[in-house]
Chain A
C-alpha cells in the first residue's frame, strides 16, 4: 500500500500574508525532513518566490499556452532545501478564466500521478482566498486536499474572506471534500487583534492553531528573496513558523466550520467596531 500523502490547502485573502506563511511552513516542513511540494494556485504566480530566491518560474498555464501537451517535469522547479515548487499561473489579466486554469493545472498533476512519482510526504496548495468561483474551490474538493487552513488577520475584510471560505468548506463537506484544520492568525500585534480573531473563531466554532506577529524579520528575509526559515533560522519568527509546521505535520482531525450568515457577520463586526472605538477614546 502506497503511503498517504498529506495534502493541505492554505487559503486567505489576497495580501494577508498567505504565501509568506505557506512558504515558511513549506520551508520549515522540509527542514523537519519531509518531502514537500508547494503548489501556488493564484494567477499572480508568486507563491513560491521566496523559496527560490525571488525567482519567478514558468507556470503550468504558460506552458499550456505554448504547447499542445504539457509534461509536468517542465513546470516543477526545486527550491530551498529541495522543495518542489509549482505555479498554476493564469491567463493574461482581463481575459480567459483563471478558475478553470486552476482546475486544468490540478487535473494535469493528478492525471500524471506526479505526487506519487515524486514520493512526496506533503503537498501545500496556496490558494487565492475568496473562493470566487468553482475553480478556486477545486483544491478543497474530494480527492485533492484533505485539510484547509486559513490565514487571516484581524481586518474585517480578511475575516470576511475566511468566513466565505468556511461557506465553501461546508458546501463540499458532505461530499468528501476537505475540512477545516484551523485558522492561522497573522499580523497579530495588538492585544485586540488576538481577541477579534479568537472571538470570530468562537462564533464559527473553529480554532486558531497559532498566532504570527507582524515582524520586520519577515520583510527583511523577503527582500532578500528568502523565507524567514532560510534567512533567519534562529529568529523568534522562524521558531513560530516551525511550531506551526510541526502542528500541521501532526494534524489529523479536521472539522466542519459554522460560518456566519451575512447579517450575523455584520452584527458581529459592528459590535467590534464599537469596542474598538471605545478603545481609541480611552
Chain B
C-alpha cells in the first residue's frame, strides 16, 4: 500500500466503486469529493477498460459536490444535501449512491445520515464510504457489492428459487471483456435451464440485484475477490458459493466449470449435454485451423482472473508454452496468492510459467525482459510499448485498455475461445 507504483494497472477504490455501480441499469452515483476526483475516476477506471463509457450517466453528467476548502473546514454535508435535492429533481434513476472521495473520508463527513434523511422521504439514496485511500479498484468493486448487499438486496426473500444463480467476481469495465464474458457465461448457464443474475450488464438492474438473496448458488469467477460478500450471502441467506479460479475459457476449463456448477445444483446430466453440444460446435471450427496455425511461447500480464484464464486456455487447450505470468492485482492474503499460483502452475502437461505479483511498470518491464524467448505478449496498454520495443506479437486483454474498442467481444467459454484465437492469428 505504501509502495510507489509506476503506471498502475487500476484506479482507486472510488474509481472501482463507480465503475461497478454505473454498470447497473438506471443507477446514478452522486460524488461527494473534490472537483478532480469525479473526472479522474470516471476517465481512469470506467473508460479505460474497453474504450467506452458507462451507458446511463458518465463523466460531467455525474452530480458532484466539488468539495472546496470551505467544505473541508466547515464540513461538507450541507452542500451534499443540496446536491442530492438537486439531483433528485433533474435526474431519473432507480437508485442514487453517494460515493465519498478522500476529502470527505478524511474529514469524516457523515454521509450516512444525509442518505437516511432522503430514504425517510422515500427516495432511493444510499451512502457508500468509498474514499480513494481505502484501496484500489478491486477494493472499490467489493465496496460496491457490499453497498448493494446493505441497501438493495431483498433482506427477507420469500422463497428460494432453485433455478436462480448469481454470477459475481467480474469487475465491470476493469475487465475489458466483462460484458461479452457475462453474456457468454450466461448463455451457457441458460442452456442448463438456469436463470442468471449478473447485476451488471444492459438487461440487469435493481430488480435482479434485489432477487439475488433468493438464489440457489453464487458463482464467483475470481480466485480472490468477494470473500466477505460470499460469507454474507451464506450467513444471511444460506446461499453457498462456488468459487471458480478464473473466467472459464476454452473447452477444458469451461467443461470443468460447467461440471462443477452441475454438481453443485444437481444438474450433472444437463451439464454433460451442454458440454457435448458446445464442444462439437467449437471443435468443428478448430479442426479447420489445424496445420495453418503455429505454436507460440507466451507471457501474460494482468488481473488474476485474466492471467489464469489465458494461461490455462493456451497451455491446456492449445499447447502453447507459458513463460512468465505477472499478476497486477494487489493480492494481499497469502492463501489467495497460493490459490492463484496453483491455478497457474497445475497445468495439464505444460511446463509451468514463472509467476510474479507486482503492479509496478518498472518491475513488470524488467521481469518481462528476462524472458527473451517469449513471442506473444497478452497484457494491457501499459505493456504495449515494451512489446513494440521487442518486436513481440501483442494484444490487449487486461486493464488499462485505451487502444481497443470492446463491446460484446468475449474471452470466455466456448465462443470466447474462438474469438481469442482469431485475435492471436490476426494481423500477423
Among B1, B108, B112, B332, contact of A135 (Cβ-Cβ < 8 Å): B108
Taking CB atoms, residues of chain A closer than 8 Å to B117 are: 174-175
A68-B332, A69-B332, A134-B75 are known contacts. Are A103 and B113 too (CB-CB below 8 A)? no
B106 touches A141 (CB 8 A): no
Q: Does B110 contact A (CB under 8 A)?
A: yes
B113 touches A134 (CB 8 A): no
B110 touches A172 (CB 8 A): yes
Q: How far is the CA of A174 from the CA of B112 in the complex (A)?
A: 12
A172 touches B108 (CB 8 A): no
B113 touches A176 (CB 8 A): yes
Among B2, B108, B114, B332, contact of A134 (Cβ-Cβ < 8 Å): B108
Taking CB atoms, residues of chain A closer than 8 Å to B2 are: 68
Taking CB atoms, residues of chain A closer than 8 Å to B75 are: 134
Q: Does B116 contact A (CB under 8 A)?
A: yes
A142 touches B112 (CB 8 A): yes
Q: Does B184 contact A (CB under 8 A)?
A: no
Q: From A65, which residue of chain B is reached at the shortest CB distance?
A: B2
Q: From A69, which residue of chain B is reached at the shortest CB distance?
A: B332
Number of interface residues of B (CB under 8 A): 15
Q: Does A177 contact B (CB under 8 A)?
A: yes
Q: How would residues 64 to 80 of chain A score, 1 for a CB under 8 Å from any chain B CB and 0 otherwise? A: 00001100000000000
Q: Does A133 contact B (CB under 8 A)?
A: yes
Q: How far is the CB of A38 from chain B (nearest CB, A)?
A: 22
Q: Does B107 contact A (CB under 8 A)?
A: yes
Q: Does B105 contact A (CB under 8 A)?
A: yes
Taking CB atoms, residues of chain B closer than 8 Å to A88 are: none
Find the residue from B75, B110, B114, B117 having the highest chain A CB count within 10 A. Answer: B110
A69-B332, A134-B75 are known contacts. Are A142 and B113 too (CB-CB below 8 A)? yes
Q: How far is the CB of A136 from chain B (nearest CB, A)?
A: 8
Taking CB atoms, residues of chain A closer than 8 Å to B116 are: 142, 175-176
Q: How far is the CA of A100 from the CA of B114 in the complex (A)?
A: 20
Q: How far is the CA of A174 from the CA of B110 in the complex (A)?
A: 12
A134 touches B1 (CB 8 A): no
Q: How far is the CB of B358 from chain A (nearest CB, A)?
A: 15
A68-B1, A69-B332, A175-B117 are known contacts. Are A134 and B112 too (CB-CB below 8 A)? no
Supply 23 A–B pairs (Cβ within 8 Å), ascending by A: A68-B1, A68-B2, A100-B108, A103-B108, A133-B107, A134-B109, A134-B110, A135-B107, A135-B108, A137-B108, A137-B110, A138-B108, A141-B113, A142-B112, A142-B113, A142-B116, A172-B110, A172-B113, A175-B110, A175-B112, A175-B116, A175-B117, A177-B113
**Which positions in B face A, CB cutoff 8 Å?**
1-2, 75, 105-110, 112-114, 116-117, 332
**Which positions in A face B, CB cutoff 8 Å?**
68-69, 97, 99-100, 103, 133-135, 137-138, 141-142, 172, 174-177
Shortest Cβ-Cβ A-B pairs, 9 listed: A134-B108, A175-B113, A135-B108, A175-B116, A134-B107, A100-B106, A103-B108, A68-B1, A97-B106
